[in-house]
Amino acid sequence: TYTLQLQDIIFLKNGTEIHGVIVEMIPGSSLIIRDESGTLQTIQIMEIIKFGKKKITQESMNPGAVRSYGMTFKPGACKISTSGMYSILRYKKSNWEDLRDFKSSVIQGNLSFSLFAISGLAGGVSINYARIMDRGFRAVDFIEYGPHLEWYLNILPYFKPYLGAALLFSKSLSPQYIYQIGSSRTYDFYIGLPVFITRNLAIEQAVHYAISRVTGELRFGDTDYFRNLNFQTAEFSMHLGLSFFLQK
Protein backbone atom coordinates (compact mmCIF):
# COMPACT_ATOMS: atom_id res chain seq x y z
CA THR A 1 0.00 0.00 0.00
CA TYR A 2 0.99 3.65 -0.42
CA THR A 3 0.54 6.68 1.85
CA LEU A 4 0.45 10.38 0.96
CA GLN A 5 2.86 12.56 2.94
CA LEU A 6 3.95 16.22 2.90
CA GLN A 7 7.62 17.13 2.67
CA ASP A 8 9.07 20.50 3.70
CA ILE A 9 11.10 22.44 1.13
CA ILE A 10 13.42 25.31 2.05
CA PHE A 11 14.56 27.65 -0.73
CA LEU A 12 17.87 29.35 0.07
CA LYS A 13 19.28 32.59 -1.33
CA ASN A 14 22.17 30.72 -2.94
CA GLY A 15 19.69 28.77 -5.08
CA THR A 16 19.82 25.56 -3.03
CA GLU A 17 16.69 23.61 -2.17
CA ILE A 18 16.62 21.43 0.93
CA HIS A 19 13.94 18.74 1.09
CA GLY A 20 13.04 17.08 4.37
CA VAL A 21 11.11 17.58 7.60
CA ILE A 22 11.47 20.66 9.80
CA VAL A 23 12.26 19.42 13.30
CA GLU A 24 12.58 22.71 15.22
CA MET A 25 12.24 26.40 14.47
CA ILE A 26 13.50 29.36 16.53
CA PRO A 27 11.57 32.43 15.34
CA GLY A 28 13.83 35.14 13.94
CA SER A 29 16.95 33.02 14.38
CA SER A 30 17.27 29.56 12.82
CA LEU A 31 15.63 26.22 12.16
CA ILE A 32 16.65 22.58 12.12
CA ILE A 33 15.59 20.31 9.25
CA ARG A 34 16.13 16.59 8.76
CA ASP A 35 16.96 16.18 5.09
CA GLU A 36 16.20 13.19 2.85
CA SER A 37 19.45 11.48 3.85
CA GLY A 38 18.50 11.70 7.54
CA THR A 39 21.07 14.38 8.36
CA LEU A 40 20.10 17.26 10.66
CA GLN A 41 20.96 20.68 9.25
CA THR A 42 20.77 24.04 11.00
CA ILE A 43 19.74 26.88 8.67
CA GLN A 44 19.84 30.58 9.54
CA ILE A 45 16.57 32.40 8.87
CA MET A 46 18.37 35.18 6.99
CA GLU A 47 19.58 32.61 4.41
CA ILE A 48 16.02 31.53 3.52
CA ILE A 49 13.98 33.00 0.70
CA LYS A 50 10.78 31.01 1.26
CA PHE A 51 9.24 27.78 2.49
CA GLY A 52 7.27 25.23 0.53
CA LYS A 53 5.51 21.89 0.78
CA LYS A 54 5.63 18.93 -1.55
CA LYS A 55 3.26 15.97 -1.73
CA ILE A 56 5.00 12.62 -1.95
CA THR A 57 3.70 9.06 -2.05
CA GLN A 58 5.60 6.47 -0.05
CA GLU A 59 5.20 2.73 -0.04
CA SER A 60 4.17 1.57 3.40
CA MET A 61 4.31 -1.97 4.70
CA ASN A 62 1.10 -3.72 5.57
CA PRO A 63 0.91 -3.89 9.39
CA GLY A 64 0.23 -7.59 8.97
CA ALA A 65 3.34 -8.25 6.91
CA VAL A 66 6.81 -8.70 8.34
CA ARG A 67 5.94 -7.45 11.79
CA SER A 68 2.94 -9.76 12.05
CA TYR A 69 4.61 -12.79 10.52
CA GLY A 70 7.95 -12.17 12.22
CA MET A 71 7.26 -14.22 15.33
CA THR A 72 10.26 -14.14 17.65
CA PHE A 73 9.11 -17.00 19.92
CA LYS A 74 9.98 -15.20 23.14
CA PRO A 75 9.55 -16.81 26.59
CA GLY A 76 5.88 -17.27 27.37
CA ALA A 77 4.81 -17.82 23.76
CA CYS A 78 2.96 -21.06 23.06
CA LYS A 79 2.06 -23.25 20.10
CA ILE A 80 -0.89 -25.59 19.56
CA SER A 81 -0.77 -27.79 16.49
CA THR A 82 -2.68 -30.60 14.84
CA SER A 83 -1.52 -32.64 11.88
CA GLY A 84 -1.80 -35.83 9.90
CA MET A 85 1.17 -38.11 9.25
CA TYR A 86 1.94 -40.99 6.92
CA SER A 87 5.03 -43.19 6.90
CA ILE A 88 6.86 -43.19 3.58
CA LEU A 89 9.20 -46.02 4.61
CA ARG A 90 8.94 -48.36 7.60
CA TYR A 91 11.14 -51.34 8.37
CA LYS A 92 10.67 -53.90 11.15
CA LYS A 93 13.13 -56.38 12.64
CA SER A 94 11.61 -58.99 14.96
CA ASN A 95 12.32 -62.20 16.82
CA TRP A 96 9.41 -63.75 14.89
CA GLU A 97 10.77 -65.49 11.82
CA ASP A 98 7.64 -64.75 9.83
CA LEU A 99 8.01 -61.04 10.55
CA ARG A 100 11.72 -60.70 9.87
CA ASP A 101 12.47 -58.10 7.21
CA PHE A 102 8.80 -57.12 7.24
CA LYS A 103 7.45 -53.82 5.92
CA SER A 104 4.35 -52.03 7.16
CA SER A 105 2.73 -48.59 6.94
CA VAL A 106 1.45 -46.18 9.56
CA ILE A 107 -1.18 -43.44 9.49
CA GLN A 108 -1.14 -40.97 12.38
CA GLY A 109 -3.05 -38.02 13.74
CA ASN A 110 -1.21 -35.64 16.05
CA LEU A 111 -2.09 -33.03 18.66
CA SER A 112 0.67 -31.17 20.50
CA PHE A 113 1.24 -28.24 22.83
CA SER A 114 4.52 -26.35 23.18
CA LEU A 115 5.62 -23.56 25.53
CA PHE A 116 8.67 -21.41 24.85
CA ALA A 117 10.92 -21.33 27.92
CA ILE A 118 13.68 -19.27 26.30
CA SER A 119 13.76 -17.45 22.98
CA GLY A 120 13.43 -20.00 20.17
CA LEU A 121 13.38 -23.10 22.42
CA ALA A 122 10.09 -24.79 23.30
CA GLY A 123 9.15 -27.84 25.33
CA GLY A 124 5.82 -29.59 25.39
CA VAL A 125 3.78 -32.76 25.06
CA SER A 126 2.47 -34.68 22.05
CA ILE A 127 -0.39 -37.14 21.68
CA ASN A 128 -0.57 -39.29 18.53
CA TYR A 129 -3.20 -41.67 17.26
CA ALA A 130 -1.50 -44.30 15.08
CA ARG A 131 -2.86 -47.12 12.91
CA ILE A 132 -0.28 -49.70 11.87
CA MET A 133 -1.24 -51.75 8.81
CA ASP A 134 0.98 -54.83 8.44
CA ARG A 135 0.49 -56.86 5.29
CA GLY A 136 -1.24 -60.09 6.13
CA PHE A 137 -2.29 -58.88 9.60
CA ARG A 138 -5.13 -56.80 10.91
CA ALA A 139 -4.62 -53.10 11.54
CA VAL A 140 -3.53 -52.22 15.06
CA ASP A 141 -4.50 -48.91 16.70
CA PHE A 142 -2.22 -47.16 19.18
CA ILE A 143 -2.08 -44.04 21.28
CA GLU A 144 1.40 -42.55 21.56
CA TYR A 145 2.24 -39.82 24.08
CA GLY A 146 5.27 -38.12 25.51
CA PRO A 147 7.44 -34.99 25.81
CA HIS A 148 9.23 -33.13 23.05
CA LEU A 149 11.71 -30.29 22.50
CA GLU A 150 11.74 -27.93 19.50
CA TRP A 151 14.32 -25.32 18.52
CA TYR A 152 13.13 -22.61 16.12
CA LEU A 153 15.46 -20.68 13.81
CA ASN A 154 14.07 -17.14 13.63
CA ILE A 155 15.81 -16.21 10.36
CA LEU A 156 12.99 -15.39 7.92
CA PRO A 157 9.73 -13.45 8.42
CA TYR A 158 7.34 -15.97 6.84
CA PHE A 159 9.25 -19.25 7.24
CA LYS A 160 10.40 -20.52 10.64
CA PRO A 161 12.33 -23.79 10.29
CA TYR A 162 12.87 -25.84 13.44
CA LEU A 163 14.52 -29.00 14.74
CA GLY A 164 12.66 -31.32 17.10
CA ALA A 165 13.04 -34.46 19.18
CA ALA A 166 10.41 -36.46 21.07
CA LEU A 167 10.26 -39.48 23.38
CA LEU A 168 6.96 -41.34 22.93
CA PHE A 169 5.32 -44.22 24.81
CA SER A 170 2.59 -46.46 23.35
CA LYS A 171 -0.72 -47.99 24.42
CA SER A 172 -2.76 -50.36 22.23
CA LEU A 173 -6.40 -49.56 21.48
CA SER A 174 -7.18 -52.64 19.36
CA PRO A 175 -9.70 -54.96 21.08
CA GLN A 176 -8.54 -58.03 19.16
CA TYR A 177 -5.14 -57.83 20.83
CA ILE A 178 -4.14 -57.55 24.46
CA TYR A 179 -0.67 -56.06 24.82
CA GLN A 180 1.26 -56.53 28.01
CA ILE A 181 4.19 -54.36 27.10
CA GLY A 182 7.32 -54.48 29.16
CA SER A 183 8.58 -51.33 27.48
CA SER A 184 7.68 -49.35 24.41
CA ARG A 185 9.75 -46.33 23.48
CA THR A 186 9.97 -44.31 20.30
CA TYR A 187 12.72 -41.79 19.67
CA ASP A 188 11.42 -39.33 17.09
CA PHE A 189 13.69 -36.78 15.38
CA TYR A 190 12.24 -34.29 12.93
CA ILE A 191 12.77 -31.14 10.87
CA GLY A 192 9.78 -28.84 10.39
CA LEU A 193 8.85 -25.71 8.47
CA PRO A 194 5.83 -23.58 9.47
CA VAL A 195 4.71 -21.16 6.74
CA PHE A 196 2.78 -18.27 8.32
CA ILE A 197 -0.43 -17.22 6.59
CA THR A 198 -1.50 -14.82 9.37
CA ARG A 199 0.25 -13.49 12.46
CA ASN A 200 -0.75 -16.52 14.53
CA LEU A 201 -1.62 -19.26 12.04
CA ALA A 202 0.82 -21.36 10.04
CA ILE A 203 0.69 -24.30 7.67
CA GLU A 204 3.29 -26.74 8.92
CA GLN A 205 5.11 -29.62 7.27
CA ALA A 206 7.83 -31.84 8.70
CA VAL A 207 9.93 -34.90 7.97
CA HIS A 208 10.42 -37.45 10.78
CA TYR A 209 12.87 -40.25 11.45
CA ALA A 210 11.74 -42.49 14.32
CA ILE A 211 13.30 -45.50 16.02
CA SER A 212 11.04 -47.72 18.15
CA ARG A 213 11.80 -50.59 20.50
CA VAL A 214 9.06 -52.85 21.92
CA THR A 215 9.38 -55.72 24.37
CA GLY A 216 6.67 -57.58 26.27
CA GLU A 217 3.86 -60.01 25.54
CA LEU A 218 1.05 -60.14 22.97
CA ARG A 219 -2.18 -62.08 23.58
CA PHE A 220 -4.83 -62.60 20.90
CA GLY A 221 -8.30 -61.69 22.16
CA ASP A 222 -9.47 -63.73 25.16
CA THR A 223 -7.50 -66.83 24.19
CA ASP A 224 -4.52 -68.28 25.99
CA TYR A 225 -2.45 -68.02 22.85
CA PHE A 226 0.35 -65.48 23.12
CA ARG A 227 3.72 -64.55 21.74
CA ASN A 228 6.61 -62.70 23.27
CA LEU A 229 7.34 -59.32 21.77
CA ASN A 230 10.83 -58.19 20.96
CA PHE A 231 11.15 -56.03 17.88
CA GLN A 232 12.34 -52.68 16.68
CA THR A 233 11.34 -50.42 13.80
CA ALA A 234 12.92 -47.60 11.85
CA GLU A 235 10.59 -45.23 10.09
CA PHE A 236 10.62 -42.19 7.80
CA SER A 237 7.38 -40.22 7.76
CA MET A 238 5.96 -36.85 6.75
CA HIS A 239 3.31 -34.73 8.41
CA LEU A 240 1.19 -31.81 7.26
CA GLY A 241 -0.98 -29.73 9.55
CA LEU A 242 -1.93 -26.39 11.09
CA SER A 243 -0.24 -24.62 13.99
CA PHE A 244 -1.57 -21.77 16.11
CA PHE A 245 0.98 -19.52 17.82
CA LEU A 246 0.15 -17.19 20.69
CA GLN A 247 2.68 -14.58 21.75
CA LYS A 248 2.41 -11.67 24.17
Residues 126 and 40 in one domain: no
Looking at residue 210, what is its pLDDT?
A: 87
Q: Is there a domain that residue 50 lies in?
A: yes
Residue 64 lies in a domain: no
Q: Which residues are within 8 A (CB) of 26 and not within 5 positions of it... i.e. 6 or more apart?
A: none
Report how many domains make up the chain: 2
Same domain, 34 and 135: no
pLDDT along the chain (248 residues), means of 10: 71 89 86 86 90 70 44 79 80 51 65 88 90 62 88 78 90 61 76 86 89 70 62 81 83
Same domain, 85 and 16: no
> Same domain, yes or no, for 30 and 114?
no
Give me the CATH number covering residue 181.
Answer: 2.40.160.20
Q: How far apart are CA 170 and CA 214, in angstroms?
A: 9
Q: Is residue 65 part of a domain?
A: no
pLDDT at 1: 46
Which CATH number belongs to the domain containing residue 48 in this structure? 2.30.30.100
* 8 Å CB contact between 114 and 124: yes
**Do 125 and 38 share a structural domain?**
no
Closest CA to 245 of 68, 88, 102: 68
- Residue range(s) defining the domain that contains residue 11: 2-59
Q: What is the pTM assigned to this prediction?
A: 0.60
